[in-house]
Amino acid sequence: MYRVIFSCLLILSAALHLRAQDAEILLTIDGKPVSKAEFEYIYQKNNTNVYADSDKKTPEEYLPLFIDFKLKVTEAERLKMDTSAAFINELAGYRKEIAEHYLTDINFEDQLVHEMYRRMTQEVDASHILLRLDKNASPEEEQKTLNKIRKIRQELLDGRDFGEAAVEYSEDPSAKDNHGNLGYFSAFMMVYPFENAAYNTPVGEISEPVRSSFGYHILKVNDIRLNQGEILVAHIMKNVPADASAETKNEIKTQIDSIYEQVKNGADFAELAKKESNDRRSAVKGGEMPWFSRGRIIPQFANPAFDLKNVGDISKPVETPFGYHVIKKLDQKPVPSFDDVKKEIETRIAHDPERRTSSEKAFVEKLKMEYNFSENNSAKQSLEGKNVDSENIPADLTLFIIDNKNYTTADLQKWLSAKNIKTGFILSNYDEWVNAEIIALEDSKLEDKYSDFRYLMREYHDGILLFNISQEKIWNFASEDSLGLQGFYNEMKEKPMWKDRFKGSIISCKNEEIRDQADNLFGADLTVEEVAEHLNTNGEVFTVETGAWEEGTNPVVDYYVWNGSEPENFNSLTTFIRGDKVGPEPKLLDEARGLYISDYQQYLEKNWLKELHARYKVKVNRKVLKTIDGV
């Protein structure tokens, strides 16, 4: 509940201590000025987040709420709540989340999203040769593998057959069978560097070597076609074992041909699938498979499936590595519109490290220009071949300058130590370090560069303080102060009232015989408790629910007292009530504790605000207030 309240408080909080963009002072609280611009920001924001126009306030109407809020935050700061480790850590966590949006090139991100959608509308048929290489390989290993794949590429350019070369050289295990051909694929189906090469290499040409986390690739693009979206089919499969003899295979072919003829002659496809298909996962659903795109399934099955033109069309028996199939088209849908998949694309980009790295590089290059980045190439070259743990590296070598600040080898080694990098060549980490330092520099300037970032951070700053002090002074105190709550209840002149209620018991008997015994005992003036004790000596045959119910809160009481409809599965011969209908009466403290605590909180807050107004002097410039336009 408190976090929900905190979310609401964040809407109320705003940038109250920001650098004034307007020199006019609207008010002072305890001698501290609050500018017109600060008030306008929070006023406009809160008046555009109301449910109805009737809830909107004029600046004059809103000012008292603003002052009350400011007083609470000022009191929290006086109590040094903004210096606690918990507050500092929570605010830092929010800042990190907010800053992520600013530490990227929004225009590049938008271009990338549109580019990924364009790729989703196409499918590429490509072959590749892979030479495996660990992503943390040494520069020597990197160069050796790169030289080898360049040599292979030259063989292909000189006319060697790609499939033949893939069988000989590729370290992708599937190359022995598919000769390097990966079939058709679309966006997000391959690692990002590979995908980039596939979509940027013209049909029929060989790509330059491409480095991915798997190693080095060269690609040949065989075809590019429009993505036909996804298809929904059902199939009936007859499995052919891998070691099946020609005779066995012919027998299975005869079976699938017979099934096809039955379907052609009007037999129910779903029933045949349930009975005949060896794919039991789909058979139980009448042969229905999950939706798939053309590139998501083997071409021997996908091609004849997508060749079916109309819903309800059925293929002739087709052969795949799994056996024979008869396929029925159930439905088809195109690639979704950009607006429908935009959020999904953004999420997939955000969760893909290699795509994020691409975005980060573009952002860093932009910052290098903005902050006049320059590199000391001679100092950088002096680190060639040196390991991270080398002892003869001068600490004061300037490696690059940005925003008029020198970054030295000492800074690099400090960063390596923080990352716990203790081995390997020092320059293999250089680019990552440069990027990290430039992004850290930009991070440190966000409050100065972006007013909306300052405003948002002030919202969280003041919102956390408001939550914490309200929790201490009002919410927790009200729920824990039992004596104060009882006194508040006793002094209330107008207490919340119950409506008409039935007070008594709902009684259920095991059978009509027990009901008759109960009636006799009640006739002898026994209480409900005494009757229960008497009848339940050999097991529970008489159950009692005691309480007080308003109309509409219990179907059995409604039936007997307020002429309600008969409850479901109800037996009036074994279930009945005993008690009386009573008129309206005040709710006791224990009957509505939550309601009284809420009222007590309002009472405490009202008195607390009186104390704050007495403690802190507030002066308002009414002339400035009149210049603020209402929303």
Question: Is residue 548 over pLDDT 80?
Answer: yes
Q: What mean pLDDT value characterizes the chain? A: 88
Structure token digits, residue 13 = 């909080």
Domain contains 271? yes
Distance CA 618, CA 545 (A): 58
Q: In 3D, which of 165, 195, 163 has the Cα closest to residue 181?
A: 163
pLDDT at 100: 81
Same domain, 506 and 471: no
**Does residue 431 lie within any of the structural domains?**
yes
302 is a domain residue:
yes
User: Could you give the C-alpha distances from 285 to 235, 275, 315, in angstroms and in order?
Assistant: 10, 11, 19
Cα 195 from Cα 172, distance rounded (Å): 17
278: domain CATH number? 3.10.50.40
* pLDDT at position 22: 45
Could you tell me the two tokens for 372?
Answer: 């006049």
Do 126 and 197 belong to one domain?
yes
pLDDT band at 622 (very low <50, low <70, confident <90, very high): very high
Domain annotation covers residue 108: no
Which CATH number fits the domain that encloses residue 20? 1.10.4030
- For the chain, what is the radius of gyration of the CA atoms? 38
Report pLDDT for 7: 38
Which pLDDT score is estimated for 65? 92
What was the pLDDT predicted at 105?
A: 67
285, 310, 333: which is the final residue of a domain?
A: 333
Burial environment of residue 57 by CB neighbours within 10 A (0 to 12, 13 to 18, 19 or more) = middle
Question: What pLDDT does 629 receive?
Answer: 87
Does residue 361 belong to any structural domain of this protein? Answer: no
Q: Are residues 293 and 328 in the same domain?
A: yes
Return d(Cα 475, Cα 469) in angstroms, integer: 9
Residue 456, pLDDT score: 85
Q: What is the pLDDT of residue 107?
A: 62
Asked if residue 342 belongs to a domain, the reply is: no
Given a cut of 70, is residue 144 above it in pLDDT? yes
Q: Whole domain around residue 133: which residue ranges?
A: 122-226
105 in a structural domain: no
Give me the pLDDT at residue 473, please.
85
Domain edge (last residue) among 545, 563, 582: 582
Beta bridge partners of 179: none
Most confident of 124-128, 139-143, 299-303, 599-603: 124-128
pLDDT at 8 over 60: no
Please tell me whether residues 618 and 558 are part of one structural domain: no
Q: Is pLDDT above 80 for 592?
A: no
Confidence of residue 529 (pLDDT cuts 50, 70, 90): very high
Amino acid residing at 75: E
Residue of 484 and 617 predicted with greater confidence: 617
Q: Looking at residue 297, what is its pLDDT?
A: 85
Q: Of 112 and 618, which is predicted with more confidence?
A: 618
Q: CA 138 to CA 145: how far, in whole Å? A: 11
* Residue 17 clears pLDDT 80, i.e. is over it: no
Q: Which residues pair with 123 in a beta bridge?
A: 225
Q: How confident is the model at residue 13 (pLDDT cuts 50, 70, 90)?
A: very low
Least confidently predicted of 3-12, 215-224, 388-397, 444-453: 3-12
pLDDT at 46: 82
Domain check: are 198 and 249 in the same one?
Answer: no
pLDDT at 239 (0 to 100):
93
Asked whether residue 461 falls in the same domain as residue 600, the answer is yes
Gap between the Cα atoms of 578 and 528, Å rounded: 9
Residue 101 lies in a domain: no
The predicted model scores a pTM of 0.54
Residues 210 and 130 in one domain: yes
HSE-CB for 39 with a 13 A CA cutoff: 32
pLDDT of residue 262: 94
Residue 9 scores a pLDDT above 70: no
CA distances from 449 to 198, 294, 442, 445 (A): 39, 48, 9, 6
Shared-domain flag, residues 234 and 221:
no
**Type of residue found at 428:** S
* Residue 563 and residue 505 in one domain: yes
Last residue of a domain, one of 192, 226, 260: 226
**17 and 156 co-located in one domain:** no
The predicted structure's pLDDT at residue 378: 92
Lowest mean pLDDT among 41-55, 266-280, 423-437: 41-55
What percent of the chain stands above pLDDT 70? 94
Share of the chain above pLDDT 90, in %: 61
- Mark whether 601 and 483 lie in a shared domain: yes
pLDDT tens by residue, 332-376: 999 999 999 988 888 887 777 677 667 778 889 889 999 999 999
- Whether residues 323 and 244 share a domain: the answer is yes
Count how many domains the chain has: 5
Name the range with the highest mean pLDDT among 158-172, 391-405, 575-589.
158-172
